[in-house]
Amino acid sequence: MFIQTEETPNPATLKFIPDGQVVVEKGSVEFKNQKQAGAKSPLATQLFEISGVEAVFLGHDFITITKSEKTDWQKIKAEILATIMDFFVTGKSVMFEQKIAENISTEDSEIVKQIKELIKIKVRPAVAMDGGDIIFHSFEDGIVRLVLKGSCSGCPSSTITLKNGIENMLKHYIPEVEAVEQVEED
């Protein structure tokens, strides 16, 4: 199995792309610690056993690892690659159960449906290329609140992406949008 690695705009994250493997069927999932991963993903649990791994983000066809500030990629990259390769060779499922993110609900207002659709079509594919994801959290009083995951979380350029990219695009298509803010996941 070939696993490609790509740098992301966030120097603390690295994107691992296992060739021909679907990592998560739909949506994405992020784990900030081994306890979170334990009940949901055997692969993420194994990756947290590597010293220096701070977060694991699973996308459709990639895995983004966030390392601690003191850890050097040269010291953990080979172990991460071996762990991913060994896991996929077993044929086990990456997730025990899968929560699908970003469903558009019939209970959503028309504006919220439009926001979610624009994020799904225009934003998520672009940030997935950089090893991250952006999930709709809420819309209230003209403010769209978004959760940044994977390489987007903690990225030095995330504020620029939110304000210059996403906010301007949403304001263009949906006049009711006045601002975009980042929030932490519930």
Structural domain ending residue among the three candidates 21, 55, 90: 90
pLDDT in tens, 66-103: 999 999 999 999 999 999 999 999 888 898 865 444 56
Token representation of residue 105: 């609900």
Whether 71 and 136 map to the same domain: the answer is no
pLDDT digits (tens, 9 = 90+) for 114-162: 999 999 888 888 888 888 888 899 999 999 999 888 877 777 777 778 8
CATH number at residue 49: 3.30.1370.70
77 and 115 assigned to the same domain: no
Please determine, for residue 34, whether its predicted confidence score (pLDDT) is greater than 60. Answer: yes
Tell me, yes or no, whether 75 and 152 share the same domain: no
* pLDDT the model gives residue 127: 84
Shared domain check, 149 and 82: no
Task: Tell me: do 71 and 14 sit in the same domain.
Answer: yes
Answer yes or no: is 126 within a domain.
yes
Q: Is the residue at 96 inside a domain? A: no
Domain around 29: 3-90
Task: State which of 58, 90, 122 marks the end of a domain.
Answer: 90
Determine, yes or no, domain membership for 103. Answer: no
Number of domains in the chain: 2
Q: Note whether 60 and 125 are within 8 A (CB).
A: no
Q: What's the alpha-carbon Rg for the chain, to the nearest Å?
A: 17
What is the CA 143 to chain-centroid distance, rounded? 22
Residue 101 lies in a domain: no
Query: What is the CATH classification number for the domain harbouring 178?
Result: 3.30.300.130
Is residue 151 domain-resident? yes
Answering whether pTM is above 0.85, one says no
79 and 119 share one domain = no
Q: Which of 41, 60, 90 is the last residue of a domain?
A: 90
